[in-house]
A and B are shown apart, each in its own frame.
Chain A
């Protein structure tokens, strides 16, 4: 009797305890869920807008047009130009920055005082806001007083028009991008190089493997996960480039540099065409998602291979 009474008295707290225990994981994940919702609300709002005919200057015309904004892109030469120039810009900048960053990282691989000092100095451009860097380059390429224009004249390019000419505009903005972002590649790859295990290199040296063979057969394969990570970060950033291009040329001359972000920005802020601007950004998101998936799958495959799981 006494036991039964005790059981009865004990059972409600036990139930409360088990209920709390069941709720605990949900409570713990609630902040993450709220942050996730906070991130997804603007995203789905943009998806919603992209399915609308929506111009701020013509509120009476606002209506759902479902996929019409996207379908219009198929027959719109401006859109294909934007896609082409965005991809060209992204792959050229990432490729060139990777080569330069790797070369510099190899030169600075040995952790001497001088190399450490130089690597810190080389990070300076990365600390400059890209829009400011673009304005600085705009001054340096000014035909009247720009130092780069002067050097161009000295080496025989008398009529070098940099960002003002359709022939050299892409080259100019890529040059600025390389100046700003190569240090990012360099620092990631340098960290990778310095963390590589020494044994394979010592063994190769004992076997008399030439340095160049060591690079191709040992360094590069072991560095590939770092290369993929650095390239992924840069690719995601580069395909969404805005500030350098807008500050230097506003997307011109003509339509030469109308990349996604510039096109979407002008559509929203200048034309107040919210529907088209949102649809462009959705395409950019899909493109970014697709490219990052390729990179991440390759990165995982390489990691599994490194662990001997494949």
Chain B
């Protein structure tokens, strides 16, 4: 690098210059914005090496198990910098999401040492943690000899960080003082509204701000636009149907999935009056304004229908709205975003967190942690967010970065504002317990029966609560 360019980059890394000024300065020297990003990232990698012995495990090799995802793409794009920084070699297997979690379960349950670290969701660690398949990462985070002093664990968004920590007691509070950090947050999704502004405008409908308005808006916008449906939400017979918009709205109304008694016993809480009223509204919304093949809809159909202009809005992961607003999608550039709270007021979205975790059966946990802290560190987070599609980042410092905010504001108007409003209330709203997948999948199946009118809502929820209580009792949790 030439001295002038080097001087500018070093000034940026010392905090004497913001990213926009840096890119402007480099532009004046004939360096394109894309090249500037690479230069900054490369220089940041060198700067990292100044404060911490990254070469401690030089010559060692790691293997990762990864899901096909933009976060993975961002990491792979930056991986050579880690290899240069650490002198380590990193191999990886990438699987599509349809089979990914089966692969993880198979690898961990067989106690295979093939993979040192893997991608996971926080919910999965409620199985992996108690089973003894993942480590408590606090042991490494809190060890100054093993963790870069600039790692800045406190920079992680609090709700996200705590959502990945659990003490292992069924019903135990997430992020409590005695919690174990089962995984390290990497990227996350809030559940809010993404909508087609033109369609809402054509229907003369404002952005809904509570559950009743959402039902009304979905019905009106569907009536006013030919060949579309009003609102996209997930509906497949899977736990993944419950955790996005559905639970975000449910929790915002103050409802719980389970209650925890003073002696630690769990009991179903989805058949309260408020819950029944909410279920009735949700079911009506799908019957009146949802996709006709709703019961087969996963995140994929929810997202692509919005991008293709087949639905007017979605109440789902905000990053679906982000990705559908770009690329080759028919509705690219026409989507807008809004925070949503079912009872109005402050949004409290339930979240999905793509995280990284170290396998207990890793051949070298210390060496693996070297990679983990780099991949979840602020430098890679900023690289991914500003150069790739690493949204939503989990670090406050990345969200505070002017360049990143400006990039979002330019291409995805309203996205930053939606995030900023929702982030303080964003966390996992489920009760942490090892039967999570059993109970939520059954919840989804019950919802399908209610939508198809196989069972009345009151009766369906009472049956669900009975079944949940029976399963909790059988497992010694209720």
Chain A residues near B (Cβ < 8 Å): 55-59, 61, 138, 141-144, 159, 161-166, 248-255, 266, 269-273
Q: Of B292, B305, B446, which is within 8 A of A164 by CB?
A: B292
A sample of 24 inter-chain contacts (CB < 8 A) reads A56-B109, A56-B127, A56-B131, A57-B130, A58-B130, A59-B130, A143-B291, A143-B293, A144-B310, A161-B293, A163-B293, A164-B296, A165-B452, A166-B449, A249-B295, A252-B295, A254-B449, A270-B239, A270-B441, A271-B435, A271-B437, A271-B438, A272-B131, A273-B438
Smallest CB separation, A139 vs chain B (Å): 11
A144 to B295, alpha carbons, bound, how many Å?
A: 15
| Residue ID in chain A nearest B444 by CB atoms | A252
Please determine whether B441 and A162 come into contact, CB atoms closer than 8 angstroms. Answer: no
Please determine whether B448 and A254 come into contact, CB atoms closer than 8 angstroms. Answer: yes
Please determine whether B434 and A253 come into contact, CB atoms closer than 8 angstroms. Answer: no
Please determine whether A272 and B105 come into contact, CB atoms closer than 8 angstroms. Answer: yes
A164 to B234, alpha carbons, bound, how many Å?
A: 13
Residues of B within 8 A of A273 (CB): 438
A254 to B236, alpha carbons, bound, how many Å?
A: 9
Chain B residues near A (Cβ < 8 Å): 101-102, 105, 109, 126-127, 130-132, 236-239, 291-296, 305, 308, 310, 434-435, 437-438, 441, 445-446, 448-449, 452, 454, 475-476
A144 to B131, alpha carbons, bound, how many Å?
A: 44
Please determine whether B434 and A249 come into contact, CB atoms closer than 8 angstroms. Answer: no
3 pairs of A and B residues whose beta carbons are closest in the complex: A252-B237, A164-B293, A57-B434
Please determine whether B296 and A163 come into contact, CB atoms closer than 8 angstroms. Answer: yes
A161 to B131, alpha carbons, bound, how many Å?
A: 41
A55 to B477, alpha carbons, bound, how many Å?
A: 13
Residues of B within 8 A of A58 (CB): 130-131, 434, 475-476
Residues of B within 8 A of A270 (CB): 239, 437-438, 441
With A59-B131, A61-B476 in contact, do A249 and B291 touch (Cβ < 8 Å)?
A: no
Q: Of A59, A249, A255, which is within 8 A of B296 by CB?
A: A249
Residues of A within 8 A of B236 (CB): 250, 252
Given known contacts A166-B452, A166-B454, A249-B237, what 11 new A-B pairs fall within 8 Å (CB)? Answer: A56-B105, A141-B293, A143-B292, A164-B294, A248-B296, A253-B237, A253-B295, A254-B237, A254-B446, A266-B441, A273-B438
A164 to B301, alpha carbons, bound, how many Å?
A: 13
| Residue ID in chain B nearest A61 by CB atoms | B476
Residues of A within 8 A of B438 (CB): 270-271, 273
Please determine whether B292 and A269 come into contact, CB atoms closer than 8 angstroms. Answer: no
Smallest CB separation, B324 vs chain A (Å): 15
Please determine whether A269 and B105 come into contact, CB atoms closer than 8 angstroms. Answer: yes
With A142-B293, A144-B305 in contact, do A255 and B445 touch (Cβ < 8 Å)?
A: yes
Please determine whether A164 and B475 come into contact, CB atoms closer than 8 angstroms. Answer: no
Please determine whether B109 and A250 come into contact, CB atoms closer than 8 angstroms. Answer: no
Smallest CB separation, A197 vs chain B (Å): 50
Residues of A within 8 A of B295 (CB): 164-165, 249, 252-253
A252 to B442, alpha carbons, bound, how many Å?
A: 11
Q: Of B293, B448, B449, which is within 8 A of A162 by CB?
A: B293
A226 to B441, alpha carbons, bound, how many Å?
A: 43
Residues of A within 8 A of B292 (CB): 143, 159, 161, 164
Smallest CB separation, B108 vs chain A (Å): 9
Please determine whether A57 and B293 come into contact, CB atoms closer than 8 angstroms. Answer: no
Residues of B within 8 A of A159 (CB): 292
| Residue ID in chain A nearest B129 by CB atoms | A57
Smallest CB separation, B226 vs chain A (Å): 13
| Residue ID in chain A nearest B460 by CB atoms | A254
Smallest CB separation, B65 vs chain A (Å): 15
Smallest CB separation, B293 vs chain A (Å): 4
With A143-B291, A250-B238, A253-B237 in contact, do A269 and B454 touch (Cβ < 8 Å)?
A: no
Residues of A within 8 A of B449 (CB): 166, 253-255
Please determine whether B127 and A272 come into contact, CB atoms closer than 8 angstroms. Answer: yes
A163 to B105, alpha carbons, bound, how many Å?
A: 28
Residues of A within 8 A of B131 (CB): 56-59, 272
A272 to B292, alpha carbons, bound, how many Å?
A: 32
A137 to B187, alpha carbons, bound, how many Å?
A: 34
Residues of A within 8 A of B101 (CB): 269
Please determine whether A61 and B475 come into contact, CB atoms closer than 8 angstroms. Answer: yes
A142 to B291, alpha carbons, bound, how many Å?
A: 11
Smallest CB separation, A114 vs chain B (Å): 40
